[in-house]
Amino acid sequence: MILKTDFIPKAFTTEIEQGNFSWSAPSNIALVKYWGKKPNQIPANPSISFTLNHCKTITKLSFTKIEKVENFSFDLLFEGKPKEDFKPKIQKFFERIEVYLPFLKHFHFVIDTQNTFPHSSGIASSASGIAALAMNLMSLEKLLNPEMTEEFFFKKASFLARLGSGSACRSVKGSVVVWGNHINFKESSDLFGVEFPTNIHANFKKFQDTILLVDKGEKQVSSTIGHDLMHNHPFSEQRFLQAHSNLSAIKIVLENGNLEEFIKIVESEALTLHAMMMTSMPYFILMKPNTLEIINKIWKFRNETNIPVCFTLDAGANVHVLYPENVSAEVLQFIKAELVGYCQNGQYICDKIGIGSQILV
Ligand code: PMV
Protein backbone atom coordinates (compact mmCIF):
# COMPACT_ATOMS: atom_id res chain seq x y z
CA MET A 1 0.00 0.00 0.00
CA ILE A 2 1.29 3.48 -0.84
CA LEU A 3 1.36 6.00 2.01
CA LYS A 4 1.38 9.75 1.60
CA THR A 5 4.89 9.84 3.04
CA ASP A 6 6.06 7.84 0.00
CA PHE A 7 5.45 11.01 -2.03
CA ILE A 8 7.96 13.06 -0.05
CA PRO A 9 11.12 13.06 -2.19
CA LYS A 10 14.58 12.33 -0.89
CA ALA A 11 17.54 14.31 -2.25
CA PHE A 12 17.41 15.33 -5.92
CA THR A 13 20.13 14.09 -8.20
CA THR A 14 20.15 16.82 -10.87
CA GLU A 15 20.44 20.64 -10.97
CA ILE A 16 18.19 22.57 -13.32
CA GLU A 17 18.48 26.29 -14.13
CA GLN A 18 15.43 26.90 -16.28
CA GLY A 19 13.03 25.37 -18.74
CA ASN A 20 9.38 24.86 -19.54
CA PHE A 21 6.76 22.19 -20.11
CA SER A 22 3.26 22.14 -21.53
CA TRP A 23 0.53 19.71 -20.60
CA SER A 24 -3.13 19.39 -21.41
CA ALA A 25 -5.48 17.85 -18.86
CA PRO A 26 -9.13 17.03 -19.46
CA SER A 27 -12.24 17.67 -17.48
CA ASN A 28 -14.06 14.57 -16.21
CA ILE A 29 -17.64 13.64 -15.48
CA ALA A 30 -18.42 11.47 -12.47
CA LEU A 31 -20.82 8.55 -12.85
CA VAL A 32 -20.76 7.72 -9.13
CA LYS A 33 -20.29 11.03 -7.37
CA TYR A 34 -17.86 12.30 -4.77
CA TRP A 35 -19.76 14.49 -2.33
CA GLY A 36 -18.46 14.86 1.19
CA LYS A 37 -14.87 14.79 2.35
CA LYS A 38 -12.68 14.09 5.35
CA PRO A 39 -9.69 16.32 6.25
CA ASN A 40 -6.85 16.62 3.69
CA GLN A 41 -9.08 16.01 0.69
CA ILE A 42 -9.81 12.41 1.61
CA PRO A 43 -13.13 11.47 0.00
CA ALA A 44 -15.98 10.35 2.24
CA ASN A 45 -16.89 7.83 -0.45
CA PRO A 46 -15.27 6.42 -3.60
CA SER A 47 -16.23 7.73 -7.05
CA ILE A 48 -15.76 6.86 -10.72
CA SER A 49 -15.65 9.09 -13.79
CA PHE A 50 -15.31 9.20 -17.54
CA THR A 51 -12.42 11.38 -18.64
CA LEU A 52 -13.47 13.82 -21.36
CA ASN A 53 -11.75 14.43 -24.66
CA HIS A 54 -12.57 17.95 -25.78
CA CYS A 55 -12.98 19.98 -22.58
CA LYS A 56 -9.41 20.54 -21.49
CA THR A 57 -7.05 22.98 -19.84
CA ILE A 58 -3.72 23.60 -21.55
CA THR A 59 -1.01 24.91 -19.26
CA LYS A 60 2.54 25.94 -20.01
CA LEU A 61 4.81 26.11 -16.97
CA SER A 62 8.08 28.05 -17.31
CA PHE A 63 10.55 27.89 -14.46
CA THR A 64 13.76 29.71 -13.54
CA LYS A 65 16.00 28.80 -10.62
CA ILE A 66 16.23 31.52 -7.94
CA GLU A 67 17.63 31.89 -4.41
CA LYS A 68 15.14 30.26 -2.06
CA VAL A 69 12.34 32.76 -1.34
CA GLU A 70 10.07 33.21 1.66
CA ASN A 71 6.88 32.97 -0.33
CA PHE A 72 6.12 31.21 -3.61
CA SER A 73 7.18 33.24 -6.62
CA PHE A 74 4.85 32.89 -9.61
CA ASP A 75 3.00 34.83 -12.29
CA LEU A 76 -0.31 33.58 -13.57
CA LEU A 77 -1.55 34.21 -17.09
CA PHE A 78 -4.97 33.18 -18.35
CA GLU A 79 -5.27 33.26 -22.14
CA GLY A 80 -2.05 35.24 -22.24
CA LYS A 81 -3.13 37.96 -19.77
CA PRO A 82 -2.33 38.31 -16.06
CA LYS A 83 -5.18 36.96 -13.94
CA GLU A 84 -4.78 38.06 -10.34
CA ASP A 85 -8.00 36.46 -9.08
CA PHE A 86 -6.76 32.93 -9.91
CA LYS A 87 -3.64 33.42 -7.79
CA PRO A 88 -5.04 32.67 -4.29
CA LYS A 89 -6.16 29.21 -5.43
CA ILE A 90 -2.68 28.45 -6.79
CA GLN A 91 -1.05 29.90 -3.67
CA LYS A 92 -3.17 27.55 -1.53
CA PHE A 93 -2.38 24.62 -3.82
CA PHE A 94 1.37 25.34 -3.52
CA GLU A 95 1.08 25.55 0.27
CA ARG A 96 -0.61 22.15 0.40
CA ILE A 97 1.86 20.40 -1.89
CA GLU A 98 5.11 22.05 -0.78
CA VAL A 99 6.02 19.19 1.54
CA TYR A 100 5.83 16.83 -1.46
CA LEU A 101 7.65 19.22 -3.84
CA PRO A 102 10.27 20.88 -1.63
CA PHE A 103 11.85 22.64 -4.62
CA LEU A 104 8.84 24.94 -5.12
CA LYS A 105 10.40 27.94 -3.35
CA HIS A 106 13.63 27.56 -5.35
CA PHE A 107 12.04 28.56 -8.65
CA HIS A 108 10.14 31.43 -10.16
CA PHE A 109 7.22 30.10 -12.21
CA VAL A 110 5.16 31.51 -15.03
CA ILE A 111 1.91 29.57 -15.33
CA ASP A 112 0.26 30.26 -18.66
CA THR A 113 -3.11 28.60 -18.92
CA GLN A 114 -6.12 28.41 -21.22
CA ASN A 115 -9.23 26.25 -21.60
CA THR A 116 -10.64 24.70 -24.76
CA PHE A 117 -14.15 25.38 -23.50
CA PRO A 118 -15.64 28.86 -23.12
CA HIS A 119 -14.83 30.29 -19.70
CA SER A 120 -17.78 31.12 -17.48
CA SER A 121 -19.64 28.30 -19.24
CA GLY A 122 -20.50 26.78 -15.88
CA ILE A 123 -18.11 23.94 -16.66
CA ALA A 124 -15.77 23.68 -13.70
CA SER A 125 -12.22 24.21 -14.85
CA SER A 126 -10.72 23.38 -11.46
CA ALA A 127 -10.34 19.65 -12.19
CA SER A 128 -8.62 20.15 -15.55
CA GLY A 129 -6.73 23.28 -14.43
CA ILE A 130 -5.26 21.76 -11.30
CA ALA A 131 -4.47 18.49 -13.09
CA ALA A 132 -2.61 20.32 -15.89
CA LEU A 133 -0.51 22.20 -13.33
CA ALA A 134 0.19 19.01 -11.36
CA MET A 135 1.41 17.27 -14.54
CA ASN A 136 3.82 20.13 -15.27
CA LEU A 137 5.16 20.13 -11.72
CA MET A 138 5.75 16.40 -11.95
CA SER A 139 7.66 16.90 -15.20
CA LEU A 140 9.90 19.31 -13.31
CA GLU A 141 10.34 16.82 -10.46
CA LYS A 142 11.27 14.17 -13.01
CA LEU A 143 13.99 16.47 -14.39
CA LEU A 144 15.35 16.78 -10.86
CA ASN A 145 15.01 13.06 -10.25
CA PRO A 146 15.27 11.24 -13.61
CA GLU A 147 15.11 7.79 -12.01
CA MET A 148 11.42 8.20 -11.24
CA THR A 149 9.25 5.46 -12.78
CA GLU A 150 6.33 6.28 -15.04
CA GLU A 151 3.95 4.60 -12.63
CA PHE A 152 5.13 6.77 -9.75
CA PHE A 153 4.99 9.87 -11.96
CA PHE A 154 1.28 9.45 -12.72
CA LYS A 155 0.32 8.33 -9.20
CA LYS A 156 2.02 11.29 -7.63
CA ALA A 157 0.53 13.67 -10.24
CA SER A 158 -2.93 12.43 -9.27
CA PHE A 159 -2.02 12.63 -5.56
CA LEU A 160 -0.93 16.27 -5.95
CA ALA A 161 -3.95 17.17 -8.10
CA ARG A 162 -6.24 15.78 -5.41
CA LEU A 163 -4.82 18.27 -2.93
CA GLY A 164 -5.82 21.16 -5.22
CA SER A 165 -9.30 19.91 -6.09
CA GLY A 166 -10.61 16.46 -5.21
CA SER A 167 -12.02 15.51 -8.59
CA ALA A 168 -8.85 16.75 -10.33
CA CYS A 169 -7.16 13.50 -9.32
CA ARG A 170 -9.44 11.74 -11.82
CA SER A 171 -8.17 13.93 -14.71
CA VAL A 172 -4.64 12.54 -14.89
CA LYS A 173 -4.67 9.13 -16.53
CA GLY A 174 -7.17 6.79 -18.10
CA SER A 175 -10.54 7.03 -19.72
CA VAL A 176 -12.36 5.58 -16.71
CA VAL A 177 -10.93 6.47 -13.32
CA VAL A 178 -11.75 5.29 -9.81
CA TRP A 179 -10.82 7.36 -6.79
CA GLY A 180 -11.26 6.24 -3.20
CA ASN A 181 -10.83 2.93 -1.41
CA HIS A 182 -13.31 0.34 -2.61
CA ILE A 183 -13.34 -3.31 -1.77
CA ASN A 184 -13.87 -4.46 -5.39
CA PHE A 185 -11.02 -2.37 -6.83
CA LYS A 186 -7.82 -3.84 -5.43
CA GLU A 187 -5.55 -0.94 -6.43
CA SER A 188 -7.99 1.80 -5.41
CA SER A 189 -6.83 4.45 -2.97
CA ASP A 190 -8.12 7.48 -1.12
CA LEU A 191 -4.88 9.23 -2.09
CA PHE A 192 -5.10 9.18 -5.91
CA GLY A 193 -7.17 8.04 -8.87
CA VAL A 194 -6.51 4.70 -10.59
CA GLU A 195 -7.47 3.50 -14.04
CA PHE A 196 -10.43 1.12 -14.31
CA PRO A 197 -8.61 -2.18 -13.97
CA THR A 198 -10.34 -4.26 -16.64
CA ASN A 199 -11.49 -3.65 -20.21
CA ILE A 200 -14.68 -1.69 -20.57
CA HIS A 201 -17.38 -3.12 -22.83
CA ALA A 202 -17.55 -1.92 -26.45
CA ASN A 203 -20.80 -0.06 -25.64
CA PHE A 204 -18.81 2.43 -23.57
CA LYS A 205 -15.66 2.68 -25.68
CA LYS A 206 -16.66 5.80 -27.61
CA PHE A 207 -19.32 7.04 -25.21
CA GLN A 208 -20.62 10.52 -25.99
CA ASP A 209 -21.22 13.39 -23.56
CA THR A 210 -23.06 16.41 -24.91
CA ILE A 211 -22.96 19.15 -22.29
CA LEU A 212 -26.00 21.40 -22.36
CA LEU A 213 -25.10 24.82 -20.95
CA VAL A 214 -28.21 25.70 -19.01
CA ASP A 215 -26.78 28.32 -16.72
CA LYS A 216 -23.40 29.89 -17.16
CA GLY A 217 -23.55 32.10 -14.06
CA GLU A 218 -21.47 31.78 -10.93
CA LYS A 219 -22.77 29.01 -8.65
CA GLN A 220 -24.54 30.28 -5.53
CA VAL A 221 -22.92 27.61 -3.37
CA SER A 222 -19.37 26.40 -4.01
CA SER A 223 -18.42 22.71 -4.01
CA THR A 224 -16.25 23.35 -0.95
CA ILE A 225 -19.27 24.48 1.05
CA GLY A 226 -21.40 21.68 -0.40
CA HIS A 227 -18.89 19.00 0.63
CA ASP A 228 -18.74 20.52 4.09
CA LEU A 229 -22.49 20.32 4.53
CA MET A 230 -22.22 16.52 4.35
CA HIS A 231 -20.88 16.67 7.92
CA ASN A 232 -23.84 16.21 10.26
CA HIS A 233 -26.07 15.65 7.25
CA PRO A 234 -29.07 13.46 8.19
CA PHE A 235 -28.57 11.10 5.22
CA SER A 236 -24.78 11.10 4.83
CA GLU A 237 -24.02 7.66 6.26
CA GLN A 238 -26.63 6.04 4.05
CA ARG A 239 -25.37 8.01 1.04
CA PHE A 240 -21.77 6.91 1.55
CA LEU A 241 -22.88 3.27 1.75
CA GLN A 242 -24.97 3.72 -1.39
CA ALA A 243 -21.96 5.09 -3.30
CA HIS A 244 -20.00 1.94 -2.38
CA SER A 245 -22.77 -0.32 -3.63
CA ASN A 246 -23.30 1.76 -6.79
CA LEU A 247 -19.60 1.47 -7.53
CA SER A 248 -19.80 -2.33 -7.21
CA ALA A 249 -22.81 -2.32 -9.53
CA ILE A 250 -21.32 0.02 -12.14
CA LYS A 251 -18.12 -2.05 -12.28
CA ILE A 252 -20.17 -5.03 -13.47
CA VAL A 253 -22.12 -2.84 -15.92
CA LEU A 254 -19.00 -1.28 -17.45
CA GLU A 255 -17.70 -4.79 -18.03
CA ASN A 256 -20.87 -6.40 -19.39
CA GLY A 257 -22.25 -3.42 -21.34
CA ASN A 258 -25.73 -3.42 -19.75
CA LEU A 259 -26.97 0.03 -20.76
CA GLU A 260 -30.27 -0.26 -18.94
CA GLU A 261 -28.50 -0.78 -15.62
CA PHE A 262 -25.97 1.92 -16.48
CA ILE A 263 -28.77 4.44 -16.95
CA LYS A 264 -30.39 3.53 -13.62
CA ILE A 265 -27.18 3.93 -11.65
CA VAL A 266 -26.02 7.13 -13.37
CA GLU A 267 -29.31 9.01 -13.22
CA SER A 268 -29.93 7.94 -9.64
CA GLU A 269 -26.43 9.16 -8.70
CA ALA A 270 -27.06 12.56 -10.30
CA LEU A 271 -30.37 13.03 -8.54
CA THR A 272 -28.97 11.77 -5.24
CA LEU A 273 -26.16 14.34 -5.44
CA HIS A 274 -28.73 17.10 -5.81
CA ALA A 275 -30.98 15.53 -3.17
CA MET A 276 -28.05 15.81 -0.73
CA MET A 277 -27.87 19.53 -1.51
CA MET A 278 -31.60 19.98 -1.04
CA THR A 279 -31.52 18.17 2.31
CA SER A 280 -28.42 19.93 3.73
CA MET A 281 -28.79 22.57 6.41
CA PRO A 282 -28.70 25.20 5.02
CA TYR A 283 -30.38 23.63 1.98
CA PHE A 284 -29.84 24.81 -1.56
CA ILE A 285 -30.81 24.02 -5.14
CA LEU A 286 -28.36 24.25 -8.03
CA MET A 287 -30.71 22.91 -10.70
CA LYS A 288 -32.69 25.46 -12.72
CA PRO A 289 -36.16 25.06 -14.20
CA ASN A 290 -34.55 24.25 -17.56
CA THR A 291 -32.51 21.46 -15.97
CA LEU A 292 -35.78 19.75 -15.06
CA GLU A 293 -37.34 20.47 -18.46
CA ILE A 294 -34.38 18.74 -20.11
CA ILE A 295 -34.51 15.74 -17.76
CA ASN A 296 -38.20 15.24 -18.49
CA LYS A 297 -37.62 15.52 -22.24
CA ILE A 298 -34.84 12.92 -22.07
CA TRP A 299 -37.10 10.52 -20.18
CA LYS A 300 -39.91 11.01 -22.69
CA PHE A 301 -37.59 10.53 -25.68
CA ARG A 302 -36.10 7.39 -24.13
CA ASN A 303 -39.54 5.94 -23.39
CA GLU A 304 -40.76 6.61 -26.89
CA THR A 305 -37.68 5.46 -28.82
CA ASN A 306 -35.92 2.97 -26.53
CA ILE A 307 -32.68 4.78 -27.38
CA PRO A 308 -30.31 4.38 -24.41
CA VAL A 309 -29.64 8.04 -23.67
CA CYS A 310 -29.43 9.37 -20.12
CA PHE A 311 -28.28 12.39 -18.14
CA THR A 312 -25.98 13.24 -15.33
CA LEU A 313 -25.37 16.46 -13.44
CA ASP A 314 -22.38 18.09 -11.80
CA ALA A 315 -22.68 20.49 -8.92
CA GLY A 316 -24.50 22.95 -11.18
CA ALA A 317 -27.43 23.41 -13.54
CA ASN A 318 -25.81 22.11 -16.74
CA VAL A 319 -26.90 18.71 -18.04
CA HIS A 320 -24.50 16.10 -19.40
CA VAL A 321 -26.32 13.95 -21.96
CA LEU A 322 -24.66 10.52 -22.13
CA TYR A 323 -25.14 7.97 -24.93
CA PRO A 324 -23.28 5.33 -26.96
CA GLU A 325 -21.70 6.38 -30.23
CA ASN A 326 -23.98 4.21 -32.41
CA VAL A 327 -27.05 6.35 -31.55
CA SER A 328 -25.25 9.70 -32.00
CA ALA A 329 -27.17 10.77 -35.08
CA GLU A 330 -30.60 10.24 -33.48
CA VAL A 331 -29.61 11.81 -30.16
CA LEU A 332 -28.01 14.87 -31.74
CA GLN A 333 -31.09 15.41 -33.85
CA PHE A 334 -33.21 15.18 -30.68
CA ILE A 335 -30.91 17.61 -28.85
CA LYS A 336 -31.09 20.14 -31.68
CA ALA A 337 -34.83 19.81 -32.09
CA GLU A 338 -35.92 19.66 -28.46
CA LEU A 339 -33.21 20.59 -25.96
CA VAL A 340 -31.21 23.47 -27.42
CA GLY A 341 -34.03 25.87 -26.59
CA TYR A 342 -33.38 25.27 -22.87
CA CYS A 343 -29.68 26.17 -23.16
CA GLN A 344 -28.38 29.66 -22.49
CA ASN A 345 -27.84 31.25 -25.91
CA GLY A 346 -28.50 27.80 -27.39
CA GLN A 347 -25.01 26.69 -26.34
CA TYR A 348 -23.88 23.10 -25.94
CA ILE A 349 -20.56 21.25 -26.21
CA CYS A 350 -20.13 17.89 -27.92
CA ASP A 351 -17.64 15.81 -26.01
CA LYS A 352 -16.83 12.14 -25.56
CA ILE A 353 -14.76 9.79 -23.47
CA GLY A 354 -11.04 10.67 -23.68
CA ILE A 355 -7.64 9.40 -22.59
CA GLY A 356 -6.33 11.71 -19.87
CA SER A 357 -3.49 14.22 -19.64
CA GLN A 358 -1.04 14.62 -22.49
CA ILE A 359 2.35 16.28 -22.70
CA LEU A 360 2.56 18.83 -25.54
CA VAL A 361 5.65 19.70 -27.48
O1 PMV B 1 -13.59 18.27 -6.86
P2 PMV B 1 -14.64 19.17 -6.27
O3 PMV B 1 -14.33 19.53 -4.85
O4 PMV B 1 -14.93 20.34 -7.15
O5 PMV B 1 -16.00 18.33 -6.17
C6 PMV B 1 -16.65 17.80 -7.29
C7 PMV B 1 -17.92 17.18 -6.93
C8 PMV B 1 -18.80 16.71 -8.07
O9 PMV B 1 -18.38 17.21 -9.32
C10 PMV B 1 -20.20 17.20 -7.82
C11 PMV B 1 -18.84 15.19 -8.12
C12 PMV B 1 -17.63 14.50 -8.67
O13 PMV B 1 -17.38 13.37 -8.22
O14 PMV B 1 -16.97 15.03 -9.57
Rounded mean pLDDT of 38-65? 97
- The Cα 10–Cα 174 span in angstroms is 28
| DSSP string across 229-293 | TTTT-TTHHHHHHHHHHHHHHHHHHHHH--HHHHHHHHHHHHHHHHHHHHTSSS------HHHHH
pLDDT tens-digit series, residues 171-196: 999 999 999 999 999 999 999 999 99
Question: What are the backbone dihedrals phi and psi of residue 298, each rounded to the nearest 5 degrees, phi first?
Answer: -65, -45
Ligand 1, residues at Cβ distance < 6 Å: 30, 33-35, 47, 124, 126, 165-167, 223, 227, 273, 314-315
Ligand 1 atom nearest 32 alpha carbon: 13
Would you state the pLDDT for residue 1? 85
CA 200 from centre of chain: 19
Centre of ligand 1 from the C-alpha of residue 299, in Å: 25
Q: Are 123 and 211 in contact (CB under 8 A)?
A: yes
Rounded mean pLDDT of 281-297? 97
As to burial, measured by CB atoms within 10 angstroms (0-12 exposed, 13-18 middle, 19+ buried), residue 251 is buried
Would you state the pLDDT for residue 121? 67
Would you state the pLDDT for residue 120? 64
Whole-prediction pTM: 0.97
Centre of ligand 1 from the C-alpha of residue 167, in Å: 5
Question: What are the backbone dihedrals phi and psi of residue 186, each rounded to the nearest 5 degrees, phi first?
Answer: -55, -40
Question: What count of other Cβ atoms lies within 10 Å of the Cβ of residue 351?
Answer: 24
Pocket test for ligand 1, best of 29, 35, 92 (most atoms within 8 A of CB): 35
- The Cα 311–Cα 319 span in angstroms is 6
Pocket test for ligand 1, best of 96, 123, 167 (most atoms within 8 A of CB): 167
Question: What are the backbone dihedrals phi and psi of residue 148, each rounded to the nearest 5 degrees, phi first?
Answer: -55, 135
Ligand 1 atom nearest 29 alpha carbon: 14
Centre of ligand 1 from the C-alpha of residue 113, in Å: 21
Would you state the pLDDT for residue 216? 79
pLDDT grade for 122, boundaries at 50, 70 and 90? low
